[in-house]
Amino acid sequence: MAECGAGGGGSSGDSLDKSITLPPDEIFRNLENAKRFAIDIGGSLTKLAYYSTVQHKVAKVRSFDHSGKDAEQDHEPPYEISVQEEITARLHFVKFENTYIEACLDFIKDHLVNTETKVIQATGGGAYKFKDLIEEKLRLKVDKEDVMTCLIKGCNFVLKNIPHEAFMYQKDSDPEFRFQTNHPNIFPYLLVNIGSGVSIVKVETEDRFEWIGGSSIGGGTFWGLGALLTKTKKFDELLHLASKGQHANVDMLVQDIYGGAHQTLGLSGNLIASSFGKSATADKEFSKEDMAKSLLHMISNDIGQLACLYAKLHSLDRVYFGGFFIRGHPVTMRTITYSINFFSKGEVQALFLRHEGYLGAIGAFLKGAEQDNPNQYSWGENYAGSSGLMSASPELCPTQRARSGTFDLLEMDRLERPLVNLPLLLDPSSYVPDTVDLTDDARARKYWLTCFEEALDGVVKRAVASQPESTDAAERAEKFRQKYWSKLQTLRHQPFAYGTLTVRSLLDTREHCLNEFSFPDPYSKVKQKENGIALKYFQGVVRALDSLGWEERQLALVKGLLAGNVFDWGAKAVSDVLESDPQFGFEEAKRKLQERPWLVDSYNKWLQRLKGPPHKCALIFADNSGIDIILGVFPFVRELLFRGTEVILACNSGPALNDVTYSESLIVADRIAAMDPVVHSALQEERLLLVQTGSSSPCLDLSRLDQGLAVLARERGADLVVIEGMGRAVHTNYHAVLRCESLKLAVVKNAWLAERLGGRLFSVIFKYEVPAE
């Protein structure tokens, strides 16, 4: 990452370099691979969208070919790792002021290499004004798209693909943003678009929406009347004036008319009875600030009441506000929220969108890409390349950021498989994956941000060590460090920048940043070695278990699961032990465990359940590679199979820390099957099925899982869900309510968290839950 203000790019970008705060090639990323474009030009801002391909390094694992020689060579790892290039799809969105449009178009023209299209989809009022300029610069034909269709398409897209897209604004909270968990069904809703005027649209399905009303009193009215009253021509300056004003100096309030008698009417004395009411009779000059504030209240209250009436008329309780009047300004969000709450008596929610400014550009892009059917895929926000809410790009210097950030970025990665809800969630609409909201909990936020900062050196060291043959690994790792560090600083000041801040989002941001600098799997060699060692002990562990009586064996299996879960390189308390004592093994881990009764202990209830009929099918979410999956999970799986229970074993699709991936689990299962007839026959008869979760996170979001897994869980009638590990069962899903039996188990490997839960380091959580009848 270049220092603040550093330039970059080609010669024609020179004019661009002087006027913006980031090198152009860090704004228009992957431009040389751009395939298709769309643009949304408003009165003051341009939003450019383009689709590009991104080359990523991925770590692939593959069994050795053992034909004609003995497979069990002691010194040989269980599989080989190769790093390959993989091409994925990414959507880029860049927002900038219209004053930069010509310089930006020049830069794009000079860096376009192999675009597949001859057309650029365009929407917004400026699409007409700048049509000739765009066609001349980019040599692409401008194809104009309907503004409202684009807005709706964009709105549907962000609501479906970005989990913390919508938020409520609460002025007295700290922070003021309250993010909503996405409802599995986003329809129907009301979209109130406040541009120059107001358009109100009812959206019923992906393709069905209707314009149901509007008003000529909108953002343009505020701007126009504001300019006449204050002689201030700039919209943002007007809002700034309003934020400092006292409207009661200009407005007539209820108490001004009724005195103390307003209480008999059931009205608050501070309510506005007449906007600008005092200006007719008062013989004095009013301040610009007070007039701007009064005007803002007048227009916001009018829009709020109108939106509320339409929502009630059409029985809708979700109303999303967008348009240039909003643009993330706290003062407008506050007045609209107040108005909606007042007129609906709290029954209708005023909701705002993190990426509200991009809706038109996203919609225009989707219109142009219909032949690729982008809606059949799931997409995920790439935190490494996106600016946060209310922030300029976090890499900017503070003095530059104060200028409200010239360029704003959003990147979305196409996920290879569609993601859906786990059908076993009791109520998907109220499911919240994360246990602690760090946006809310300042003490926890401070602790975890510091924790991730302190762990950064270790992550950098591990990343470099994972690529010993690479000449530029140290340089890339340093860029990763700078990028992730700057993200952490942004989140210290703006914890709401990427939605609700959680331990999961901090971990996922770190994985995104590692990927960005081609460290796809820093723990691949650690996992390879640990899998190799654990496989050698498997038969001995199983023999020892089989020699125990039934009841003794059940406890030993659970202790094995828990001991295996100690081997987590993501926990500093553990990685310190593993670094200093390479001989630390399964038996040592068992000795680390808390003695019973555990911190959360429903083992006796679980044992009673095991004395009953077998479960039909267990869905198990595995955690770590090595001892965890091989000596902890597989013996437990083997016992379930022995009881007559089918097992679906779900592992991450992509790497995260030392968590086992789906492709690694296939090889491990193969090797275990060669040693164990129970596992061998279960794999052959498809009573044991290995699936991928669709995730590359150390945590688990049960509302965004691989469609194949969800289908299988439904088809096989899964009636037990087992979630193991601190990331999946404590940081997430600790409070998840399922419609079937569940087992959540973890060893708490963080002293601060253990203390917060009322325990100490290596405390055990064994939570067996049965759904209420």
Name beta bridge partners: 349: 318
Specify the DSSP element, H or E, that contains 119: strand 119-123
CA distance 215 to 301: 13
pLDDT in the model for residue 13:
38
pLDDT in the model for residue 3:
28
Per-residue pLDDT of 671-711, as tens digits, reads 999 999 999 999 999 999 999 999 999 999 999 999 999 99
pLDDT in the model for residue 233:
87
| Residue located via tokens 């604004």 | 169
Residue 241, token pair as written in the block: 């004036």
CA distance 522 to 698: 14
pLDDT in the model for residue 257:
87
- Mean pLDDT check: name the lowest of 98-102, 582-586, 683-687, 704-708: 582-586
- Those residues whose C-beta lies under 8 Å from the C-beta of residue 269, and which sit 6 or more positions away, are 253, 254, 255, 258, 262, 263
* Residue 657: band (very low, low, confident or very high) from pLDDT cuts 50, 70, 90: very high
CA separation (Å) from 243 to 233, 294, 300, 357, 601?
16, 11, 14, 21, 53
pLDDT in the model for residue 28:
87
> Of residues 96 and 619, which shows the higher confidence score?
619
**pLDDT surpassing 80 at residue 572:** no
Most confident of 77-91, 265-279, 473-487: 473-487
pLDDT in the model for residue 21:
52
Average pLDDT of the residues in 216-232:
95
CA distance 153 to 158: 9
**Under 8 Å between Cβ of 757 and 732:** no
Residue 381, token pair as written in the block: 């926000």
Per-residue pLDDT of 709-748, as tens digits, reads 999 999 999 999 999 999 999 999 999 999 999 999 999 9
**Under 8 Å between Cβ of 697 and 656:** yes
Percent of the chain scoring above 70 in pLDDT: 92
Residue 226, token pair as written in the block: 């504001």
pLDDT in the model for residue 266:
76
CA distance 367 to 155: 13
Average pLDDT of the residues in 252-270:
82
* Residue 22: band (very low, low, confident or very high) from pLDDT cuts 50, 70, 90: low
| Residue located via tokens 């929610």 | 349
> Of residues 520 and 570, which shows the higher confidence score?
520
* Residue 464: band (very low, low, confident or very high) from pLDDT cuts 50, 70, 90: very high
**Under 8 Å between Cβ of 106 and 135:** no
Beta strands in 584-704 (DSSP E): 600-601, 617-621, 646-651, 688-692
pLDDT in the model for residue 19:
43
**pLDDT surpassing 80 at residue 549:** yes
Backbone angles phi, psi at 82, to 5 degrees: -130, 145
pLDDT in the model for residue 66:
52
Percent of the chain scoring above 90 in pLDDT: 67
- DSSP-derived letter for residue 370 is G
pLDDT in the model for residue 14:
40
**Under 8 Å between Cβ of 523 and 416:** no
Torsion of CA 748, 751, 757, 760, to 10 degrees: 80
pLDDT in the model for residue 582:
66
pLDDT in the model for residue 195:
87
The rounded mean pLDDT for the chain is 89
Average pLDDT of the residues in 521-526:
92
Per-residue pLDDT of 528-544, as tens digits, reads 999 999 999 999 999 99
Per-residue pLDDT of 38-86, as tens digits, reads 999 988 889 999 999 888 788 889 887 654 444 445 567 889 988 888 8
pLDDT in the model for residue 114:
65
CA distance 443 to 270: 36
> Of residues 84 and 662, which shows the higher confidence score?
662
pLDDT in the model for residue 113:
62
**pLDDT surpassing 50 at residue 268:** yes
The SS3 of residue 80 is strand
CA distance 742 to 727: 16
CA distance 442 to 465: 35
- Those residues whose C-beta lies under 8 Å from the C-beta of residue 684, and which sit 6 or more positions away, are none
**pLDDT surpassing 90 at residue 586:** no
pLDDT in the model for residue 56:
79
Angle at which helices 503-516 and 442-465 cross, to 10°: 30
Beta strands in 124-163 (DSSP E): 141-144
**pLDDT surpassing 70 at residue 1:** no
Of 131, 126, 300, give the one whose Cα is nearest residue 226.
300
Q: Give the pairing of strands 600-601 and 705-706.
A: unpaired
Residue 677, token pair as written in the block: 């007839």
CA distance 594 to 512: 35
